[in-house]
Amino acid sequence: AQSVTQPDIHITVSEGASLELRCNYSYGATPYLFWYVQSPGQGLQLLLKYFSGDTLVQGIKGFEAEFKRSQSSFNLRKPSVHWSDAAEYFCAVGAFSGGYQKVTFGTGTKLQVIP
């Protein structure tokens, strides 16, 4: 079964600074990988996804992520953080299990942005 680890529960960065959120996955084959963002009390919005091809994926709101098979990682990056980026970020892996695709989420990383 697949699993996702987000080692950082809480990260604080200054506005304008760069950001990297870590994500490691465990799956026997090439997974489908996602990053979602959740604002308080709301559902999830997809930032970006990786299925195949170019391992550097561009997403919305200036985010990007790089798939590194050798490290089983899919870290999320942004060169310059804005105050509006403060939210919770979830990494997820999709894999086929029991005949259908199941998406498993990491525990999330809460991002705080300070002026």
Partner 1 sequence: GAVVSQHPSWVICKSGTSVKIECRSLDFQATTMFWYRQFPKQSLMLMATSNEGSKATYEQGVEKDKFLINHASLTLSTLTVTSAHPEDSSFYICSARLAGYTGELFFGEGSRLTVL
Which residues contact partner 1 (rule: CB under 8 A)? 32, 34, 36, 41-46, 49, 51, 90, 94, 98, 100-108
Q: Which is nearer to partner 1, 43 or 115 (CB)?
A: 43
- For the bound state, the minimum distance from the C-beta of residue 98 to partner 1, rounded and expressed in Å, comes to 7
CB closer to partner 1 out of 24 and 104: 104
Task: Burial-class residue 54 by CB neighbours within 10 Å (0-12, 13-18, 19+).
Answer: exposed
Token output for 24: 């490691």
Q: How far is the CB of 53 from partner 1 (least distance, A)?
A: 13
Per DSSP bridges, beta strands 109-114 and 10-14 are: parallel
